[in-house]
Structure 1
Amino acid sequence: MSVTIKDVAKLADVAPSTVSRVIANNPRISEKTKRKVKEAMDYLGYHPNFNARSLANRSTQAIGLVMPSSADKAFQNPFFPEVIRGISTMAHEQEYALYMSTGKTEDEIFDGVVRMVQGRRVDGIVMLYSRVDDRIMCYLQEQNFPFTVIGKPFKNAETITHIDNDNFRAGQEMTEHLLSLGHERIGFVGGDLNLVVTIDRLLGYEKAIRNAGLPHKDEYIVHEEFLKEGGQEAVKELLGLKNPPTALLVMDDLMSFGVLSTLNDLGLSVPDDISLLSFNNVMLSELSSPALTSVDINIFQLGYEAAKGLLECIQTPGKPAKRVTVPFELAERQSCKKIN
């Protein structure tokens, strides 16, 4: 015979309605009562029927994830598994499932989001990127559907809950770090210029160059995809210059692995011939040869805070939008060198 809410209530010495509120994570129930009810549930082996709950309160107990590109391409970058790990941890704490976009083109990804929203397959959505004039973000706003963004929205940032690093300051401070090592010819290897993170870090880089009294050189700035191949193409372009950079500021560790591979093929040494400073500090950064000096942007925390912010939007409709700024720090290793 299956265990019921009444059985749990009897063992915990509370009313059945209290058990229901504990299952729904009602904030009005004390932590002591929640603990007592959960202990009774564990002892009896009781598992709530979330399908029945969803029908009753029109909740799916699921949140949607929207990638910037097809999943097979996005998952080549270690950023995405780690940020999803952060989202998943918070979702698990609140007993939510994850539902991921699977389209291969922008149109397919957009259509998938429309199906999530119109079919009420999820209670809210986390966007794992922020793009200039993104139609998915515009659609979600028009539908008044709960969502959060990892990154700073290009428009209406004050009305959208978003979780981000201070990428302008990061771009500036990392360029200043290379300047402090004596480098004056610093290349910038950015990602897609439609991504707000690329724009912010580029503006920070340019400000540091201006503040140092150095000339701005457009030929030192290249933009490629956040993939290993993107880094390889960037190196070929920059090293073909008459006065190539002595240091590179690269927007993503995966691109940096491509840079390292190409430099090695050309017989150039990092950091003896050229210094390399990267972003993201993924696990492989310290295992590369040489180990990458990289900016730790706390990827897991970005995901965790994005899910937390979304659940607040779902559970408290009308709650004012907020920005959560996740700190960053430089992990210094062997890929940067002081020069005369």
Structure 2
Amino acid sequence: MVTIKDVARVAKVSPSTVSRVISDHKSISESTKERVRLAMQELGYHPNYIARSLIKCSSHALGLILSRSTESAFSNPFFSEILRGIGKVAQKHQYTLALATAENYKDEAKQGLQMVMERRVDGLILLAPRVNDDLIRELSRNNYPFVVVGRVNGMQHHYAVNNDNIQAAYTAVRHLLNLGHRRIAFLNGPSEYTFCQDRYQGYCMALQEFGVAVDPRYVRNLENHHEDDYRMGKELLKQKPRPTAFFLTDDLMAIGVYRAVKEENLRIPQDVAVVGFNDDAFANLLDPPLTTVQIPIYEMGKTAAEMMIAVLHGKEVTPPQKILSSELIIRESCGAKAR
């Protein structure tokens, strides 16, 4: 069997340096790390991480909490893209990923706590936190390391990566208001999530700025079921007076809304304008292409994983809460290009 001594000989370093490279120690230069990794690859050497974890009391694994059912999460492009960013960083630092899957929040929180208490993971990355998140409170109370992708309600001392959902929603709705729309329907996600509450706040801010009252008849909270998008779209289009525009908290909702508009013999954007959120890969392929808020989903995943690994290595993370920018991508579905 190939040993650390064999790798050290080929890389022309000491065995202890090879060991430090395997643990990604900050005292080793990147050029030395690259030389040692090439020697490991050439010799076919694979570190025994199980044995190392027993010695170091470290699993060298990151736990991921999806904050919704597996089926719901993996049918949404947001989660696959953010996992791509997390996985890129984890691979670079030779961490494995452990996924907590459950059909309800109680089981999910229980799984997350077990993962860190049983040392199956070194830390947790939480996606889409809830307004009253017992898991986050329990992790904080026990000083377990975690990073949140999103905003934690009422807590200041934690590590988090987010986009400014209030400002992003405000910008999107203000764009519709500038185009002359006053009856703007809002299809939102479950109100238990902080990002949904923030996007609703941005929606309200924009309407109030233009002197438009928030009409609850035009607001719906969906439970992430695609048939709901279509059903709620039909329901809203039958309102008297009907909305002239839709703001959607997720691009996936556009599929159902487009179908509902077509069945009502209306046209996008001539009769009904539509603006989405996330700029998923398919948004530009819809007919007409969807105007949407572009957020750096991949970068959010990368940043969260980098923060988590830095915390685990005892490095200072500043600032502890990072806000990444978003941008409104104007396409044909809102009518701005035609004008």
Alignment TM class, shorter chain as reference? over 0.9
Tell me the distance in 2 between the aligned counterparts of 1:65 and 1:36: 32
Could you tell me which residue of structure 2 aligns to residue 114 of structure 1?
A: 113
Determine if contact 2:146/2:159 at 8 Å carries over to the other structure.
yes
CA distance, structure 2, for counterparts of residue 114 and residue 260 of structure 1: 41
* 1:283 alignment partner in structure 2: 281
Report the counterpart of residue 78 of structure 1 in structure 2. Answer: 77
Q: Which runs of no fewer than 5 residues in structure 1 stay unpaired?
A: none
Q: Is the 8 A contact 2:59 2:119 kept in 1?
A: yes
2:171–2:328 Cα contact (<8 Å) kept: no
- Report Cα offsets for 1:91-142 as digits up to 9, x if no partner: 1111111111121122221221122122111111111112111111111112
Partner AA of 1:121 in structure 2: R
Asked whether the 8 Å contact 1:185–1:246 carries over to 2, the reply is yes
Tell me the equivalent position of 1:135: 134
Deviates more, 1:51-60 or 1:317-326: 317-326
1:130 and 1:110 map into 2 onto residues whose CA distance is 11
Q: Which residue of 1 aligns with 2:24?
A: 25
Contact 2:295 2:325 in 1 (8 A): yes
Residue 145 (1) aligns with residue 144 (2): yes
SS of 2:334's partner is coil
Q: 1:304 to 1:318 in 2, by over 3 A?
A: closer
Matched, 1:304 2:307: no
Shift of residue 88, structure 1, vs aligned partner: 0.9
1:18 deviates by 1.0
Q: Shift in Å at residue 319 of structure 1?
A: 5.5
For normalisation by structure 1, the TM-score amounts to 0.94
What SS does the aligned partner of 1:95 have?
A: coil
The alignment partner of 1:335 has SS state of: helix
Q: Structure 1: how far apart are the matches of 2:305 and 2:223?
A: 26
In structure 2, the partner of 1:5 is 4
Aligned length: 338
Equivalent position amino acid for 1:73 in 2: S
Shift in Å, 1:288: 1.6
Q: Write out aligned runs for 1:1-340 (5 A).
A: 2-156=1-155, 158-316=156-314, 322-338=320-336
Question: How far did residue 240 of structure 1 move?
Answer: 2.7
Please tell me whether the aligned partners of residues 307 and 317 of structure 2 are also in contact (alpha carbons under 8 angstroms): no
In the alignment, the residues of structure 1 paired with residue 315 and residue 7 of structure 2 have an alpha-carbon distance, to the nearest angstrom, of 31
Cα deviation for residue 320 of structure 1 reads 6.7
Q: Secondary structure at the residue paired with 2:252?
A: helix
Identical counterparts, % of pairs: 38
Amino acid paired to 2:289: A
SS in 1 for 2:186: strand
1:140-198 residue CA offsets vs partner (Å, 9 max, x unmatched): 11221111111110121x21111111111101111111112121221121111111111
Amino acid at match of 1:33: T
- How many Å separate the matches in 2 of 1:87 and 1:32? 24
TM superposition shift of 1:280: 0.8
Q: 8 Å contact 1:297–1:328 — kept in the other structure?
A: yes
Deviation at 1:60? 0.8
Amino acid at match of 2:43: L
Return the alpha-carbon distance in structure 2 between the equivalents of residues 328 and 318 of structure 1. Answer: 26
Aligned 8 A contact 1:176 1:208 in 2? yes
Range moving further from structure 2, 314-323 or 249-258: 314-323
Distance 2:334 2:326 in 1: 18
Shift of 1:35: 2.4
Q: Structure 2: how far apart are the matches of 1:256 and 1:98? A: 32
* Residues in 1 aligned to 2:51 and 2:296: alpha-carbon distance in whole angstroms: 37
1:9: how far off? 1.4
**Which of structure 1's runs of 4+ aligned residues deviate more than 3 A?**
317-321
Whole-Å Cα distance in 1 between the matches of residues 317 and 211 of structure 2? 45
1:318 Cα deviation from its structure 2 partner: 7.6
SS at match of 1:283: coil
How far apart, in 2, do the equivalents of 1:80 and 1:30 lie? 34
**1:5-29: CA deviations, max 9, x gaps?**
1111122222111111111111111
TM-score scaled by structure 2?
0.95
In structure 1, distance between residues paired with 2:234 and 2:38: 62
Alpha-carbon distance, 1:87 to partner = 1.0
Secondary structure (helix, strand or coil) at the match of 2:80 reads helix
